Amino acid sequence: MKARIVTTREAHHLMVEAMRRWAISAARLPRVLRERERPRHPEFSPGTAWWLFNAFTEVQKLASPRLQMNGSLKLSSLFRRELQLV
């Protein structure tokens, strides 16, 4: 994921699909967008799948541990499928 570039169109598609698949709530999507645009951690390479995935997980930290785990599993599956990651 660290080397896979994600276009803005792909990022928006992944955000909508994550909401549709209950990986994250619609109410938290604006936070994901903000985190993607201004990540809290400089080590996340801008424009990569890793960067976007970490934007999601940073926002998921606000949820209960069970919801964090379920969301992470759904996100991992979504990213692998949509970005054809091995």
Q: Give pLDDT tens digits for 8-33.
A: 999 999 999 999 999 999 999 999 98
| Mean pLDDT of the 48-61 span | 91
Which of 9-13, 33-37, 39-43 holds the top average pLDDT? 9-13
5 — phi, psi (to 5°)? -75, 140
**C-beta of residue 59 within 8 angstroms of C-beta of residue 15:** no
- pTM for the structure as a whole: 0.84
CA distance 83 to 86: 9
